[in-house]
Copies of this chain bind each other. A is one copy, B any other.
Amino acid sequence: MADVNLDEKDFEILRWLDREGDVDVDELSEKLGISPSTVYYRMEKYREQGIIDGKVPQLDQKKLGLNLTAISEIKSEYGPGYDEIGERLSNLSGVQTAYFMLGEKSFILIAHLRDHDHLQKFVDDIIHTEGVSHSATHIVLKTFKDEPRLLVNYEDEDLEALRS
Protein backbone atom coordinates (compact mmCIF):
# COMPACT_ATOMS: atom_id res chain seq x y z
CA MET A 1 0.00 0.00 0.00
CA ALA A 2 2.54 2.53 1.10
CA ASP A 3 5.77 2.56 -0.82
CA VAL A 4 7.90 -0.22 -2.15
CA ASN A 5 11.57 -0.92 -2.11
CA LEU A 6 13.07 0.25 -5.34
CA ASP A 7 16.77 0.17 -6.05
CA GLU A 8 18.80 2.16 -8.50
CA LYS A 9 18.13 -0.24 -11.33
CA ASP A 10 14.40 0.06 -10.79
CA PHE A 11 14.58 3.79 -11.05
CA GLU A 12 16.62 3.60 -14.21
CA ILE A 13 13.97 1.46 -15.79
CA LEU A 14 11.14 3.59 -14.54
CA ARG A 15 12.77 6.78 -15.72
CA TRP A 16 13.21 5.41 -19.18
CA LEU A 17 9.64 4.23 -19.29
CA ASP A 18 8.43 7.53 -17.97
CA ARG A 19 10.44 9.55 -20.44
CA GLU A 20 9.80 7.45 -23.51
CA GLY A 21 6.68 5.47 -23.00
CA ASP A 22 7.08 3.49 -26.17
CA VAL A 23 10.31 1.68 -25.41
CA ASP A 24 10.04 -2.07 -25.42
CA VAL A 25 11.78 -4.66 -23.32
CA ASP A 26 14.58 -5.33 -25.77
CA GLU A 27 15.35 -1.68 -26.19
CA LEU A 28 15.50 -1.10 -22.48
CA SER A 29 17.67 -4.13 -22.01
CA GLU A 30 20.13 -2.74 -24.51
CA LYS A 31 20.20 0.77 -23.09
CA LEU A 32 20.75 -0.39 -19.55
CA GLY A 33 22.95 -3.37 -20.23
CA ILE A 34 20.61 -5.78 -18.48
CA SER A 35 19.23 -8.98 -19.87
CA PRO A 36 15.80 -8.65 -21.53
CA SER A 37 14.33 -11.31 -19.32
CA THR A 38 15.47 -9.42 -16.26
CA VAL A 39 13.88 -6.23 -17.49
CA TYR A 40 10.76 -8.21 -18.13
CA TYR A 41 10.95 -9.74 -14.68
CA ARG A 42 11.17 -6.34 -13.03
CA MET A 43 8.50 -4.73 -15.11
CA GLU A 44 6.18 -7.58 -14.29
CA LYS A 45 6.65 -6.76 -10.64
CA TYR A 46 5.84 -3.11 -11.18
CA ARG A 47 2.57 -4.14 -12.68
CA GLU A 48 1.79 -6.59 -9.91
CA GLN A 49 2.55 -4.01 -7.28
CA GLY A 50 0.55 -1.41 -9.09
CA ILE A 51 3.49 0.93 -9.55
CA ILE A 52 2.65 1.00 -13.22
CA ASP A 53 -0.96 0.91 -14.20
CA GLY A 54 -1.22 0.69 -17.93
CA LYS A 55 -0.41 3.32 -20.49
CA VAL A 56 -2.37 6.37 -21.43
CA PRO A 57 -2.17 7.94 -24.89
CA GLN A 58 -1.51 11.65 -24.70
CA LEU A 59 -4.33 13.60 -26.31
CA ASP A 60 -3.80 17.22 -27.18
CA GLN A 61 -6.41 19.30 -25.39
CA LYS A 62 -6.26 22.25 -27.70
CA LYS A 63 -6.50 20.21 -30.86
CA LEU A 64 -9.57 18.54 -29.43
CA GLY A 65 -11.11 21.94 -28.90
CA LEU A 66 -10.61 22.16 -25.15
CA ASN A 67 -8.99 25.55 -25.19
CA LEU A 68 -9.95 26.75 -21.79
CA THR A 69 -8.58 25.66 -18.46
CA ALA A 70 -10.35 26.69 -15.29
CA ILE A 71 -9.44 26.41 -11.64
CA SER A 72 -12.23 26.58 -9.12
CA GLU A 73 -11.96 27.10 -5.45
CA ILE A 74 -15.02 25.85 -3.65
CA LYS A 75 -16.16 26.19 -0.08
CA SER A 76 -18.78 23.97 1.38
CA GLU A 77 -21.13 24.31 4.26
CA TYR A 78 -19.70 23.56 7.61
CA GLY A 79 -20.27 20.05 8.90
CA PRO A 80 -19.56 16.50 7.90
CA GLY A 81 -20.15 15.12 4.45
CA TYR A 82 -17.01 16.36 2.76
CA ASP A 83 -16.50 13.03 1.11
CA GLU A 84 -19.84 13.17 -0.58
CA ILE A 85 -19.35 16.68 -1.78
CA GLY A 86 -15.91 15.79 -3.04
CA GLU A 87 -17.33 12.88 -4.97
CA ARG A 88 -20.04 15.01 -6.48
CA LEU A 89 -17.58 17.64 -7.57
CA SER A 90 -15.27 14.99 -9.00
CA ASN A 91 -18.05 13.71 -11.19
CA LEU A 92 -18.88 17.02 -12.77
CA SER A 93 -18.31 16.86 -16.50
CA GLY A 94 -14.92 18.27 -17.40
CA VAL A 95 -13.20 17.92 -14.05
CA GLN A 96 -9.80 16.34 -14.31
CA THR A 97 -8.50 16.95 -10.82
CA ALA A 98 -10.21 17.46 -7.49
CA TYR A 99 -8.31 18.22 -4.31
CA PHE A 100 -9.42 18.85 -0.78
CA MET A 101 -7.16 21.39 0.84
CA LEU A 102 -5.71 21.28 4.28
CA GLY A 103 -6.82 23.94 6.67
CA GLU A 104 -9.18 25.80 4.48
CA LYS A 105 -12.08 23.40 4.24
CA SER A 106 -12.16 24.02 0.54
CA PHE A 107 -11.89 22.11 -2.67
CA ILE A 108 -9.84 22.86 -5.73
CA LEU A 109 -11.01 21.68 -9.14
CA ILE A 110 -9.15 21.75 -12.40
CA ALA A 111 -11.23 21.47 -15.52
CA HIS A 112 -10.65 21.71 -19.25
CA LEU A 113 -13.44 23.33 -21.19
CA ARG A 114 -14.40 24.24 -24.71
CA ASP A 115 -15.37 27.89 -24.56
CA HIS A 116 -17.24 30.43 -22.51
CA ASP A 117 -20.56 28.68 -22.93
CA HIS A 118 -19.05 25.54 -21.60
CA LEU A 119 -17.51 27.50 -18.76
CA GLN A 120 -20.85 28.96 -17.87
CA LYS A 121 -22.39 25.52 -17.77
CA PHE A 122 -19.51 24.34 -15.61
CA VAL A 123 -19.95 27.15 -13.11
CA ASP A 124 -23.67 26.43 -13.05
CA ASP A 125 -22.94 22.81 -12.30
CA ILE A 126 -20.77 23.80 -9.37
CA ILE A 127 -23.27 26.22 -7.92
CA HIS A 128 -26.03 23.66 -8.14
CA THR A 129 -24.00 20.97 -6.45
CA GLU A 130 -25.53 20.18 -3.09
CA GLY A 131 -23.43 21.35 -0.19
CA VAL A 132 -21.51 24.04 -2.04
CA SER A 133 -21.73 27.36 -0.27
CA HIS A 134 -19.27 29.47 -2.17
CA SER A 135 -17.15 29.19 -5.28
CA ALA A 136 -14.66 31.22 -7.25
CA THR A 137 -13.55 30.15 -10.69
CA HIS A 138 -10.38 31.43 -12.30
CA ILE A 139 -9.27 31.20 -15.88
CA VAL A 140 -5.83 30.10 -16.97
CA LEU A 141 -4.29 32.60 -19.32
CA LYS A 142 -1.23 30.60 -20.16
CA THR A 143 -0.16 27.08 -19.43
CA PHE A 144 3.56 27.11 -18.88
CA LYS A 145 3.76 23.47 -18.07
CA ASP A 146 1.42 20.51 -17.92
CA GLU A 147 3.55 17.43 -17.81
CA PRO A 148 1.74 14.11 -17.61
CA ARG A 149 4.95 12.21 -17.09
CA LEU A 150 5.91 12.03 -13.47
CA LEU A 151 9.62 11.52 -13.02
CA VAL A 152 10.87 13.88 -15.69
CA ASN A 153 9.98 16.74 -13.39
CA TYR A 154 12.61 15.94 -10.83
CA GLU A 155 16.27 16.67 -10.54
CA ASP A 156 18.53 13.67 -10.07
CA GLU A 157 19.11 14.61 -6.49
CA ASP A 158 15.43 14.37 -5.64
CA LEU A 159 15.03 11.08 -7.41
CA GLU A 160 17.89 9.56 -5.50
CA ALA A 161 16.17 10.49 -2.29
CA LEU A 162 13.23 8.34 -3.28
CA ARG A 163 15.23 5.13 -3.17
CA SER A 164 14.94 3.02 -0.10
Residues of A within 8 A of B (CB): 2-4, 6, 14, 17-18, 20-22, 49-67, 69, 71, 86-87, 89-90, 93-104, 107-108, 111-112, 114, 118, 138-151, 153-155, 157-158, 161-162, 164
Chain B residues with CB under 8 A of A94: 153-154, 158
What are 21 A-B contacts defined by CB distance under 8 Å? A2-B63, A4-B63, A20-B54, A21-B54, A21-B55, A50-B60, A52-B57, A52-B58, A56-B149, A93-B153, A94-B153, A95-B145, A98-B144, A98-B146, A99-B141, A99-B144, A100-B140, A101-B138, A111-B153, A114-B158, A114-B161
**Is A118 touching B58 in the complex (CB atoms < 8 A)?**
no
**Is B118 touching A161 in the complex (CB atoms < 8 A)?**
yes
Chain B residues with CB under 8 A of A65: 3, 162, 164
**Is A50 touching B22 in the complex (CB atoms < 8 A)?**
no
Chain B residues with CB under 8 A of A20: 54
**Is B96 touching A145 in the complex (CB atoms < 8 A)?**
yes
A115 → chain B closest CB, angstroms: 9
Chain B residues with CB under 8 A of A118: 158, 161
From B22, B101, B162, A55 is in contact (CB under 8 Å) with B22
Rounded to whole angstroms, the CA-CA distance of A3 and B66 in the bound complex is 9
Rounded to whole angstroms, the CA-CA distance of A62 and B136 in the bound complex is 30
Assuming A22-B54, A107-B144, A111-B153, what are 12 further A-B pairs, CB within 8 angstroms?
A14-B59, A21-B54, A50-B60, A53-B58, A55-B57, A89-B144, A96-B147, A97-B146, A99-B141, A101-B139, A102-B139, A102-B141
